[in-house]
Structure 1
Amino acid sequence: RIYQVILGLFNKNIAVDLVTLTEELQNKNELIDIGGITYLTQLVNSVPTPENIEFYNQIIKKKSNQRKILFILEELKLEKIDTQKALEKISLIPIIEIKEENLKTLLKNTLKISAEGVAHRFKMGHLNRYLGGIDKGEIITIGGFTSQGKTSFAIQLAMDFIDVVEEKKILYLSSEMTALEISRRLLSNLMPKNIMDFRKGIFDEGEREALDSIATIVGDHWNLNIKKVFDMEDIRRYIQKYNPEIVFMDYLQNLDRKKALTDYQKVTGNIKDLQGITLGREISTFVVSQLSRGNKNIIRKPRLSDLRDSGRIEECSPIVLFVYWEDRLKEKIEMRTGGESPEKMEILIAKNRDGTIGKFGLDFYPEYCRIKEREYTAHEY
């Protein structure tokens, strides 16, 4: 069934990969029947790659020589040649020894790859200190309670990646906001200008011209696409169209899913699909996740157990970051017009498969949707 769908895509001159195949199977209502995105990912991972071509070549040569020996023995059996002639022919066939990857080779290859570092480095030094960056095929979950600045943090990270390497291809997907709302936040950050002024249409003399100039420069040089999505089909389509290096999905719990009977099934299915796409296309993915605080009278920091009620997010994420804005939970925030001291935000590294967990502080300007690193002394944390 999968082969027939591949043939159909080929006949339509559509490139066949994990995303197009998944979308076509879903359009035909056959994706679940063949085992879902998980089975397709397993198939992709089982296909030989050029990285091991030397090893594969040795296997083919060995099998070819084995067939030659069988042919000689068949000739001997049929008395077409005598025993002496058969032994002579067999002795001329080289013995192929398949060299399996030993510990020495494994360690040297690991060192070679590690010397290049991960695929993408953060602009925020504290994130690099804890995480080293984000690699291809990795998912980082950004979690937090309601109105904690998760989207502002995700947008700041997206902008920072482009600031480090301008041509980096970023795809920002939102299931909560329109592209216009995200764009307001970008312009607010870049100017900077209070985002409420955009909503009210308030612009001082010269501001519109300055913002227009910013829009032109950014639009001409940034490889950033912003799209509203409703389900996994939208995500697959945009990833196929823009072929990004880094994807932001904001936020996971708001994505629809057909045939999901519970929120747990919906979130689990969507995060596993995102994991399959991330691994299959070797992209880096940031997933924004909403946490439930439970008793709102208790002021506390997020913890990993808050994720476990929302599908298998933690299992699919090698790295989990929590955004914590304590004064917002305590409702201590007053109206900000611009120029006030920054709010204090904390980033908690709650899970880090390859490193240590920890926390660090950031300066947050919510009126500008801007987040900056702040200097702090060692005893603060």
Structure 2
Amino acid sequence: MNIEKMYNLDAEKNVLSSIFMNNDSICEVIDLIKAEDFYSSNNKIIYKNLVEMQDKRIPIDIVTFCDRMGETLKEIGGVSYITEIINSSITATNIKRYGQIVKEKSNYRELMKIFENSMEKLKKAEDSTDEVIDYAQNSLMKLDSSEVKDTGEMLPIMDKYMDTLQARYEKGEAVQGVKTGYKSLDKTLGGLQKEDLVILAARPSMGKTSTALNIILNSVFKEKAKVAFFNLEMGPIQIIDRVLSIHTAIPMDKIKKADLTDKQWCAVTKSAAIFAGSNMKIYNRIYKINLIKSECRKLKIKEGLDIVVIDHLQLIEGVKGAENRNVEVSKITRELKLMAKELDVTVLLLSQLSRAPEARSEDHRPRLSDLRESGSIEQDADVVMLLYRDDYYDKDCEEKGIIECIVAKNRNGELGTVRFRWLPEIQRIWALNT
């Protein structure tokens, strides 16, 4: 092992020396390094106390520092060590560079620790390989994000806001998010917004997968969005049957049976080729929340990612140790909301509803309280859309094939209902609202 990569005591001393020489220079490194980043235990204590003195506006010099330390001064080398530190540098102008060296060495040690811990976990064989991979990836993500400081200062916040405002102006549209392809829905939601957790919930066979697929395909082909679809409910062949039926307007039953005319064969072949080269990825064998997050992180870094779709919540496997399924679901939705923020993506999460709508004697329209295993679904979600079809409950109703998309929660926009015409034969939906 190359010891020189593990630490640099000269850089540590020069950071401390610079602060003694110019108290204001601490501002150059206070957001860059923490006391834990120092290798020397003495230097950790000295830096921690210098930061505390700066916070309390106590002037820093050898006298005030030694007075603050009192009897504990001996434990860190006494006055002689403080004098040695002060004399180790002749200028404070390079403190930021010294701080960067200290941080680099700290990151190296932390990386070694992550890999050593991962190896130890593998040797003990108490955790699955998936859990070890998740530990390593999460640790690396935390290490990577540890240098990103949220200072709370208004200047960078306003700079980012003005950039966003300028982008809105240049786009010149009311809909600022990724368009769903349905004007009435986009008007209500403002499009699919980055960092949002969007819930699309319904009773079984209500049309939620079809609705989600239509939105996905519109975003991929009209908006050029990059989409990851985690299909937990169906096999890959079943989902492709639906996708091609929507795209070609050929009845899904004909595609399933391969009962196609020459013209339809040509259309299906062409459509399949288009999807093969599209920005859409479909995953059929990833059920665990940690693996979903891991795959999304890799996609974001390697290829970019705009929308994550998961069908559906009740099939996601959570982390170990949850007291019950409600607690597990709460943890899953919280993790997905945090992932949306971390990766700057929209998460469209499909979910089942409880049987409560059937139990109501008159109006079977779903409510937020009907979210199955609700936990914190409603709390974590930015948008909740509930689907309802009258002909689901009344086979003799006048309006058949009408889906009501009830926007029951919209943290940053309007509530309302958007009506769709649904043709299950080809899995397509059309918005009826003007």
TM-score normalised by structure 1 residue count: 0.69
Distance 1:172 1:179 in 2: 11
Match of 1:101 in 2: 154
Tell me if structure 2 keeps the 8 A contact 1:251–1:289: yes
* Contact 2:200–2:208 (Cα < 8 Å) also in 1: yes
1:305 is aligned to 2:369? yes
Percent identity, aligned pairs only, is 24
- Tell me by how many angstroms 1:251 deviates: 0.3
Amino acid at match of 1:230: Y
Q: Out of 392, 398, 402, which is 1:328 matched to? A: 392
Equivalent residue number for residue 231 of structure 2: 174
* Matching of residue 363 in structure 1 with residue 421 in structure 2: yes
Which position in structure 2 is the counterpart of 1:253? 314
Listed as ranges, the matches of 1:235-246 within 5 Å are: 235-243=292-300, 244-246=305-307
Give the TM-score taking structure 2 as reference length: 0.61
Q: What secondary structure does 2:375 align onto?
A: coil
Q: Which runs of 5+ in 2 are unaligned?
A: 1-105, 117-127, 169-175
1:129 and 2:229 aligned: no
CA contact 1:308–1:314 (8 Å) conserved in 2: no
Equivalent residue of 1:327, what SS? helix
1:287 counterpart residue number: 349
> C-alpha offsets along residues 217-246 of structure 1, whole Å, 9 cap, x if unaligned?
3323x2101111221133134313432221
1:48 matched residue in structure 2:
148
For residue 247 of structure 1, report the CA deviation from its aligned partner.
Answer: 0.6
2:134–2:290 CA contact under 8 A, matched in 1: no
Structure 1 portions without partners, runs of 5+: 12-22, 57-99, 335-340, 377-381
- Give the Cα–Cα distance (whole angstroms) in 2 for the partners of residues 42 and 30 of structure 1: 11
Which SS does the other structure have where 2:154 is aligned?
coil
Asked whether the 8 Å contact 1:173–1:227 carries over to 2, the reply is yes
Alignment pair present for 1:217 and 2:281: no
The answer as to whether partners of 1:127 and 1:133 remain within 8 angstroms in 2 is yes
Which structure's relative contact order is higher, taking Cα pairs within 8 Å and 6+ residues apart?
A: 1
Aligned partner letter, 1:223: N
Please say which structure displays the higher CA radius of gyration.
2
CA distance in 2, matches of 1:300, 1:41: 45
Out of 215, 218, 226, which is 1:160 matched to?
Answer: 218
Secondary structure of the residue aligned to 1:292 is coil
In the alignment, structure 1 residue 197 sits paired with structure 2 residue 254: yes
Residues 226, 343 of structure 1: CA spacing in aligned structure 2 closer, same or farther, 3 A cutoff? same
Task: Give the match's secondary structure for 1:155.
Answer: helix
In the aligned structure 2, how far is the partner of 1:217 from the partner of 1:29?
34
Cα 1:342/1:165, change in 2 over 3 Å: farther
Counterparts of 2:425 and 2:110 in 1: how far apart (Å)?
A: 50
**Residue by residue, what CA displacement relative to the aligned partner does 1:286-330 show, whole Å, maximum 9, x if unpaired?**
000100123625351111111274221111111111111121132
Q: Secondary structure at the match of 1:356?
A: coil
The number of equivalent residue pairs is 302
Give the secondary structure class of the aligned counterpart of 1:206: helix
Paired position in structure 2 for 1:114? 165
Q: Deviations over 1:39-86 (max 9, x none)?
A: 99998776436xx8xx89xxxxxxxxxxxxxxxxxxxxxxxxxxxxxx
Which structure shows the higher helix fraction?
2
**Do 1:122 and 1:157's aligned partners in 2 also have CA atoms closer than 8 Å?**
yes
**Closer/same/farther in 2, CA of residues 201 and 362 from structure 1, 3 Å limit:** same
Q: Which residue of 1 aligns with 2:131?
A: 26
